[in-house]
Structures are given as structure tokens and as C-alpha cells.
């Protein structure tokens, strides 16, 4: 099979489009003929800096396609089913081996392209807001990097839960578009002080919950925007800023910093996490929640897709197609 692989960390130019061996089907899993691959924020971070597990390495957390092979322990999927899966790596390929426990059926008639981008973004947003963030109706929530995959999902879910949503982005154009997804206040974090902008939007008491996918100084600055007993869910380091977090400023607020890793939620709180993602898939298929697909590339052009995302032009998701 063909895959977009790399032999070393680096910029998008490290990708090679090559023949690699087909994956073996795990006893508790499936092999998927992949059609659509969702380019996740973590893919860029893996490519640029995470030590390779194999050489060549196939990156990629999420893909959708048709079941080609089923392991002997799997009872809920059959050859020919359309599915979407989350994998720890290996998604940038024509075939992927996936765990059945991290796989969801694609609703009949649904377009595979948006569905391919649901589990990680909506699952992460859902766990951050509800299972970990304990978001209550009427609370104020700050969603960083609102125009990213997780951000767009979080804005929609928070808004429909009755929260007042603030969001950040690197351009006023992105912020203007985020209003139609439910953001009441937009903050350009390239041109304004976060704490001042939050105080201006909702008053000096600040927000009850922050979802931070940017990390570094942005995570630290978020403490200054927090209300008494506020919570910060730290889930990403999209900003590539190595600044270490100092918990001391949280003390005066009796505030909490909570870490999130979606694959841990799927392992340790499997039933509720899997169900929440299944509901999001159904709701995207019905048009009740929206996935924005910004651009589509061939799998062979993974380097172009990563370059585009890293230029910070994307609004929503970029996807790759195995069939060009």
C-alpha cells in the first residue's frame, strides 16, 4: 500500500509518498480501506518533534473508510461497513489497523469527509467541557484557538450547553467567522492583552472555564482571566512555546489546572466517551453540529497540507484523500 511517511523529524518537506507493508489485523480490531484522513493539530507536532516509533514512521490520528478485514474478537463491525477510527499513529496510509473500541459506524448516507474529522475534535471538546470542565449553564467559557478543529467543536458544544463563549484567534477575519458558531466575544491574541480583553468582555471576575490548546505563555496568561474556583483544561501545545507553567497564581483563585488526553478518556472512561463521540457523529450527519472543511489534498500531498495548516490560514479542518 501507499503511505505518506517520514524518516526524521522536521518541516513538511520530510514527507515521502512510498510503498509500505500492509498492516496486520489485530484480534480485537479491524483493517480499514482508508478514503479520508483528517489532518489533526497533533500530526504537525508529531512530525516536527516527537521521536519516531518506527522508521519510516506513519503519522496520523484519524481516518474514515470501509472495513476490509475484521479480527476474530470483533462482533460489532463487518467487512464493508463504513467507519471512522482514532489511532495513535498510522492514519496517513491507504490501509490502517484500528482498535474496534476506538471505531464508530458512519451513519447511512452521511458524507465521509466531515465525519472523518469528528471523533478527535468533538471528543476532546466534549471531554474538556463536560467530563473534566464540569461546565454549567450560564457559565463563561474561554475557548482558545477557536478556528482550530477542537476550538470550533468546543464553541458549538459550549454555546448549546447555555454558556457564554469567548474565543481567541490570530486574525480578526477568523474571529468574525467564529461568531456564527456561537462565540459571543472574539479576542485577537496577537493584538490584545488576554486579561484586559476578557475583563472588557465579561467584567473583572473573569471566566469559569478555559480550554487551552495553545500552551506556553497562553496557558499561563489564562490564569489571569479566571474567576474564583475557575478551571483550566490544558489539552494542547499548538503554540510550540516551551514556557513552563507556574501554578502559584492559581492559589489566590482556588483555581484548578486539569490535563486532558482523549485516548486516556477512551481507555479509562470508555463507555461514556465512546457514546459522546457517537452522538456527535450522528449530530454532524444530521446537520445539528458543523464541521468546516477548509481544504482537501491528496494523501501524496501531505507536505502541502501541513504547509498550509502551519501558515495558520486554515479555518476548521484540512483533509487528505487516498484516491487523489
Ligand X SMILES: NC(=O)c1ccc[n+]([C@@H]2O[C@H](COP(=O)([O-])OP(=O)(O)OC[C@H]3O[C@@H](n4cnc5c(N)ncnc54)[C@H](OP(=O)(O)O)[C@@H]3O)[C@@H](O)[C@H]2O)c1
Site of interaction with ligand X (CB under 6 A): 40-42, 45, 120, 124, 145, 147-151, 169-170, 174, 213-214, 235-240, 260-262, 309-310, 312
Pick 163 or 262: Cβ nearer ligand X: 262
Any residues with CB less than 8 A from the CB of 119 and at least 6 apart, and which?
62, 84, 85, 86, 102, 104, 277, 280, 281
Q: How far is the CB of 109 from ligand X (least distance, A)?
A: 27
Pick 39 or 163: Cβ nearer ligand X: 39
Pick 156 or 213: Cβ nearer ligand X: 213
The 10 Å Cβ neighbour count of residue 11 is 13
Whole-Å CA distances, 54 to 9, 51, 90, 112: 12, 9, 11, 29
Q: State the Cα–Cα distance between residues 83 and 52, nearest whole angstrom.
A: 27
Any residues with CB less than 8 A from the CB of 111 and at least 6 apart, and which?
none
Pick 103 or 265: Cβ nearer ligand X: 265
Q: How far is the CB of 132 from ligand X (least distance, A)?
A: 11
Q: How far is the CB of 238 from ligand X (least distance, A)?
A: 3
Q: How far is the CB of 97 from ligand X (least distance, A)?
A: 21
As a 3-state breakdown, the chain gives helix, strand, coil percent values, each rounded to 5, of 35, 25, 40
Q: State the Cα–Cα distance between residues 295 and 305, nearest whole angstrom.
A: 8
- The answer to whether 98 and 74 have CB atoms below 8 angstroms apart is no
Residue 288 phi/psi, 5-degree rounding, is: -85, -25
Q: How far is the CB of 169 from ligand X (least distance, A)?
A: 4
Pick 155 or 238: Cβ nearer ligand X: 238
Amino acid at each position: 500500500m501507499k503511505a505518506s511517511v517520514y524518516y526524521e523529524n522536521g518541516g513538511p518537506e520530510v514527507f515521502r509518498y512510498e510503498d509500505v507493508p500492509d498492516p496486520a489485523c489485530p484480534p480485537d480490531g479491524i483493517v480499514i480501506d482508508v478514503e479520508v484522513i483528517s489532518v489533526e493539530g497533533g500530526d504537525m507536532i508529531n512530525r516536527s518533534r516527537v521521536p519516531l516509533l518506527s522508521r519510516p514512521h506513519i503519522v496520523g490520528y484519524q481516518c474514515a473508510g470501509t472495513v476490509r478485514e475484521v479480527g476474530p474478537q470483533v462482533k460489532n463491525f463487518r467487512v464493508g461497513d463504513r467507519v471512522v477510527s482514532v489511532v495513535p499513529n498510522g492514519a496517513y496510509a491507504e490501509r490502517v489497523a484500528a482498535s474496534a473500541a476506538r471505531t464508530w459506524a458512519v451513519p447511512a448516507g452521511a458524507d465521509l469527509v466531515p465525519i472523518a474529522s469528528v471523533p478527535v475534535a468533538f471528543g476532546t471538546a466534549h471531554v474538556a467541557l463536560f467530563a473534566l470542565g464540569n461546565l454549567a449553564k450560564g457559565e463563561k467559557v474561554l475557548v482558545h484557538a477557536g478556528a482550530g478543529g477542537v476550538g470550533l467543536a468546543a464553541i458549538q458544544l459550549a454555546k448549546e450547553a447555555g454558556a457564554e463563549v469567548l474565543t481567541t484567534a490570530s486574525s480578526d477575519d477568523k474571529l468574525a467567522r467564529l461568531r456564527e458558531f456561537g462565540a459571543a466575544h472574539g479576542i485577537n491574541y496577537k493584538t490584545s492583552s488576554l486579561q484586559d480583553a476578557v475583563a472588557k468582555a465579561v467584567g473583572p471576575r473573569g471566566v469559569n472555564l478555559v480550554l487551552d490548546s495553545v500552551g506556553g505563555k497562553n496557558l499561563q496568561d489564562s490564569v489571569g482571566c479566571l474567576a474564583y474556583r475557575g478551571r483550566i483544561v490544558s489539552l494542547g501545545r499548538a503554540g510550540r512555546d516551551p514556557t513552563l507553567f507556574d501554578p502559584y497564581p492559581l492559589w489566590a483563585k482556588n483555581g484548578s489546572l486539569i490535563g486532558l488526553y482523549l485516548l486516556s478518556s477512551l481507555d479509562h472512561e470508555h463507555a461514556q466517551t465512546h457514546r459522546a463521540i457517537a452522538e456527535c457523529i450522528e449530530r454532524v450527519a444530521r446537520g445539528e453540529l458543523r464541521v468546516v472543511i477548509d481544504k482537501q489534498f491528496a494523501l501524496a500531498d501531505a507536505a502541502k497540507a501541513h504547509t498550509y495548516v502551519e501558515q495558520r490560514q486554515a479555518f476548521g479542518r484540512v483533509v487528505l484523500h487516498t484516491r487523489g
